[in-house]
């Protein structure tokens, strides 16, 4: 079976500095992967490269999305094909209405897939249903995108978008950072929505705490722009106990 | 050099001749005012970029062009007029500066007095009271020219305590003609104490051709009166537009005036408010869009002349192609104007590398117990926001459109007349890169 996401020997530069140095990762439908690692290991760079941020330069390797060349697609096409990035720092966009924005996004994706676009009424019904998962008040819908939202509200808005857009592959870039337990549960709920044979989730995190609520199939440790070690949930627990030092030493010894 | 001088003389003498014909048959103070205004204009002539207030705006092309008085206006069909009308408003229509009773929807009532100035002039019944009192002539040659040459316009008076439910729409339509012409619409709005109303002035065109609109609006607000005022400028992109607004605010009165400028090749708006009564407040909003080689210049002066007065200014410009936007905002806080509260924001969005924005906030504060803030920014579209929208599946062109519209909408949201807001939404969207149904 073709993997949903297949990253092969990916190397990427930001501001002339090489951050990813030959990263390999294969994600199959139905899987939840956790990527952990210290600050500066390349976690967020990976997320941004996959989403197509213009200032990130891929120098080598390839990424296949259901067998197709992801890196050749502009960001909007990646999204329409089914890739979603929950941002570490969601952007505030004054003057752009949250509900209008999300309806435009969903309809762009539906159109790409040959589905009929939703009208305002149908969209609102869908949005209301999804809002339950993230415990957002309806008044959020009529505010400007992320404008004046608290940190937790911004993260919940990301998960809300995820729930509405139902991507094939969702990448969560430190969505759990700075959240309290209640908010963490909400994030986990959102991820669990996608937990079935058609979707996959890549959770980038600094902490193992989130992994109490969503059990990953695989855990990877990112070090120096490569996957230094992969394992099961036990690996995350071990990292929590022993820190990252031993993995880095092991990796250096290889 | 001599040739230039001759030419200038020549042009001014043409306006002098127009001035003489405009006072024919007039007597008394109005004649004196018009003659004095003409002399003032002839003395000052067209402004040059050597003058500080005109540093960014060159009127040489305006001075050179040979404008005539408008020919007798042709009749307009309803279908020509209807695109410019606004739902749920009462409209008074002017064609090339002249009032058209048959195209207007309403007449005077006890609550609302409306007089076309032409009638008052013809009957020699135009009292010089509020007219000419607020819009000073000195240093304002175009106001002087308007005062000397206006032949028509609107005089609106709302009686004490009256709340007008329906906004008044003063619609100035230019039809274009064989030769470029100039009209000098004059508006006088008097809101008696405790009254409340909305007035929209809109300047629109049926042709693409060149002409010149030189308008002056004077506003007088009695104590505790409220006026929500809009000035929509959608003249032809070949046209010149010079506009002056001068308002006097009495005790506890409140004025909001919103300038919406999309048209003209060269537009200059001079907006002045004088807060002369304790507790008075004004809000100046502005949204301008330029593209091609359009040039829009807003000069605002808010004069806090009394303690406990508030002002807020919120201007936004969207500048594309080789367009240029100028914002010069002066706040004066006089010595006695303690407890003044004033805030000014001006933002310009540059959509192309060759667009130019000039902003100049000026604070002149002579009182010590005041709160004045100002901020101006000139920037491009936020790349991070653009990327964010694209990662959600929205195409680049649509994403740009959403962001530009979002920038404009912070002013559009302040438009309280629904039909005007809708029309502005559409007008703004028409200028944006993608078809988006916001």
How do the residues of chain A divide into helix, strand and coil, expressed in percent and rounded to 5?
Answer: 40, 30, 30
Nearest CA in chain A to B381: A93
Task: Write out the two tokens for A29.
Answer: 């439908």
Q: How far apart are CA B273 and CA B285, in angstroms?
A: 13
**What single string gives the DSSP state of each residue in A122-163?**
HHHHHHHHHHHHHT--GGGGGSEETTT--HHHHHHHHHHHHH
Containing A186, the helix (H) or strand (E) segment is helix A181-193
B389–A51 CB contact, under 8 Å:
no
Structure confidence at residue A68 (pLDDT): 97
Helices (H), ranges, B45-125? 60-64, 78-81, 117-122
ipTM for the assembly: 0.96
Q: Parallel, antiparallel, or unpaired: how do β-strands A68-69 and A56-65 relate?
A: antiparallel
Structure confidence at residue B1 (pLDDT): 44
Structure confidence at residue B24 (pLDDT): 87
Give the phi and the psi of residue B114 in degrees, each rounded to 5.
-130, 125
Buried-state track B65-101, b at ≥16 Cβ within 10 A, e below 16: eebebbeebeebeeeebeebbbeebbbbbbbbbbbbe
Q: Parallel, antiparallel, or unpaired: how do β-strands A144-145 and A93-97 relate?
A: antiparallel
Mean pLDDT, to the nearest integer, of A12-33?
A: 96
Mean pLDDT, to the nearest integer, of A216-235?
A: 95
On whether the CB atoms of residues B192 and B158 are closer than 8 A, the answer is yes
Collapsing DSSP states into helix, strand and coil, what is residue A16? coil
Mutate to test the interface with B, among A44, A47, A82, A91 (most CBs of B within 10 A): A91
Q: Which residues of chain B have a CB within 8 Å of the CB of A74?
A: 390, 396
pTM above 0.95, yes or no: no
Nearest CA in chain A to B407: A95
Q: How far apart are CA A53 and CA A47, in angstroms?
A: 9
* Per-residue pLDDT tens over the stretch A58-116: 999 999 999 999 999 999 999 999 999 999 999 999 999 999 999 999 999 999 999 99
On whether the CB atoms of residues B191 and B221 are closer than 8 A, the answer is yes
Q: Parallel, antiparallel, or unpaired: how do β-strands A200-205 and A32-36 relate?
A: parallel
Q: What is the mean pLDDT of chain A?
A: 93
Chain B residues in contact with chain A using a Cβ-Cβ cutoff of 8 Å: 382-385, 387-396, 398-399, 402-403, 405-410, 436, 438
Per-residue pLDDT of chain B (438 residues; tens, 9 = 90+): 455 656 677 788 889 999 988 898 888 889 999 999 999 999 999 999 999 999 999 999 999 988 988 877 678 888 999 999 999 999 999 999 999 999 998 767 778 889 999 998 888 777 777 889 999 999 999 999 999 999 999 999 999 999 999 999 999 999 987 889 999 999 999 999 999 999 999 999 999 889 999 999 999 999 999 999 999 999 999 999 999 999 999 999 999 999 999 999 999 999 999 999 999 999 999 999 999 999 999 999 999 999 999 999 999 999 999 999 999 999 999 999 999 999 999 999 999 999 999 999 999 999 999 999 999 999 999 999 999 999 999 999 999 999 999 999 999 999 999 999 999 999 999 998 776 665
Measure CA of the first residue to CA of the last residue in chain A; give whole Å: 31
B98-106: long-range contacts at Cβ-Cβ below 8 A with a sequence spacing of 24 or more? Answer: B98/B70, B98/B73, B98/B151, B98/B152, B99/B152, B99/B153, B99/B154, B100/B73, B100/B76, B103/B76
On whether the CB atoms of residues B351 and B357 are closer than 8 A, the answer is no
Q: Which residues of chain B have a CB within 8 Å of the CB of A52?
A: 390-391
* Per-residue pLDDT tens over the stretch A155-212: 999 999 999 999 999 999 999 888 888 888 888 888 888 889 999 999 999 888 888 8
On whether the CB atoms of residues A176 and A5 are closer than 8 A, the answer is no
């Amino acid at each position: 079976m073709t993997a949903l996401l297949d990253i092969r020997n990916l190397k990427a530069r930001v501001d002339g500095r090489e951050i990813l140095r030959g990263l390999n990762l294969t994600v199959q439908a139905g899987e939840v992967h956790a990527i952990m690692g210290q600050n500066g290991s390349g976690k967020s760079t990976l997320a941004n490269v996959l989403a197509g941020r213009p200032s990130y330069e891929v120098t080598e390797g390839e990424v296949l999305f259901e067998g197709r060349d992801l890196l050749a697609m502009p960001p909007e096409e990646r999204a329409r094909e089914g890739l979603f990035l929950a941002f570490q720092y969601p952007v505030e966009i004054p003057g752009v209405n949250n509900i209008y924005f999300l309806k435009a996004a969903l309809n762009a994706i539906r159109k790409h897939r040959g589905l009929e676009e939703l009208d305002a009424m149908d969209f609102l019904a869908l949005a209301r249903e999804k809002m339950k998962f993230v415990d957002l008040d309806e008044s959020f819908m009529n505010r400007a995108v992320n404008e004046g939202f608290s940190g937790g509200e911004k993260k919940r808005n990301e998960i809300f978008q995820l729930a509405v857009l139902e991507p094939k592959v969702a990448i969560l870039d430190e969505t759990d950072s700075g959240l309290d337990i209640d908010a963490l549960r909400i994030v986990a709920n959102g991820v669990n929505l996608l937990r079935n044979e058609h979707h996959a989730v890549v959770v980038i995190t600094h902490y193992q705490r989130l992994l109490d609520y969503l059990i990953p199939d695989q855990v990877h440790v990112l070090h120096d722009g490569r996957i230094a070690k992969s394992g099961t949930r036990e690996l995350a627990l071990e990292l929590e106990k022993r820190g990252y030092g031993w993995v880095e030493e092991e990796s250096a010894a290889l | 050099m001599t040739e230039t001088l001759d030419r200038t003389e020549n042009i001014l003498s043409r306006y002098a001749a127009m001035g003489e014909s405009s006072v024919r048959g007039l007597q008394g103070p109005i004649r004196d005012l018009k003659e004095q205004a003409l002399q003032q204009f002839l003395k000052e002539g067209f402004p040059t970029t050597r003058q500080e207030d005109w540093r960014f705006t060159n009127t040489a092309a305006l001075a050179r062009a040979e404008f005539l008085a408008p020919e007798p206006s042709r009749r307009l069909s309803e279908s020509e007029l209807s695109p410019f009308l606004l739902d749920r408003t009462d409209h008074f229509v002017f064609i090339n500066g002249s009032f058209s009773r048959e195209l207007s929807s309403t007449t005077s009532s006890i609550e609302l007095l409306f007089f076309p100035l032409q009638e008052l002039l013809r009957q020699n019944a135009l009292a010089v009271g509020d007219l000419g009192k607020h819009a000073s002539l000195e240093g304002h040659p175009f106001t002087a020219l308007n005062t000397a040459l206006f032949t028509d316009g609107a005089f609106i008076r709302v009686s004490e305590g009256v709340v007008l439910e329906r906004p008044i729409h003063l619609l100035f339509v230019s039809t274009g003609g064989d030769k470029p012409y100039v009209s000098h619409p004059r508006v006088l709005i008097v809101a008696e104490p405790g009254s409340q109303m909305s007035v929209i002035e809109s300047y629109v065109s049926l042709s693409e051709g060149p002409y010149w609109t030189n308008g002056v609006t004077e506003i007088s607000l009695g104590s505790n009166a409220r006026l929500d005022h809009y000035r929509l400028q959608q003249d032809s992109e070949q046209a010149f537009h010079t506009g002056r607004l001068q308002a006097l605010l009495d005790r506890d009165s409140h004025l909001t005036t919103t300038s919406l400028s999309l048209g003209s090749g060269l537009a200059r708006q001079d907006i002045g408010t004088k807060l002369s009564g304790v507790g008075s407040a004004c809000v100046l909003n502005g949204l301008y869009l330029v593209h091609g080689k359009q040039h829009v210049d807003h000069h605002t002066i808010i004069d806090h002349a009394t303690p406990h007065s508030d002002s807020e200014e919120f201007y936004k410009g969207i500048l594309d192609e080789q367009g240029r936007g100028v914002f010069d905002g002066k706040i004066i806080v006089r010595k006695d104007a303690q407890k003044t509260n004033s805030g000014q924001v001006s933002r310009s969005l540059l959509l192309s590398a060759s667009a130019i924005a000039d902003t100049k906030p000026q604070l002149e504060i002579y009182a010590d117990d005041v709160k004045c803030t100002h901020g101006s920014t000139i920037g491009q579209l936020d790349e991070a926001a653009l990327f964010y929208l694209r990662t959600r599946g929205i195409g680049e062109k649509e994403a740009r459109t959403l962001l530009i519209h979002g920038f404009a909408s912070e002013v559009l949201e302040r438009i309280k007349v629904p039909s005007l807001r809708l029309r502005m939404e559409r007008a703004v969207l028409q200028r944006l890169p993608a078809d988006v149904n916001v």
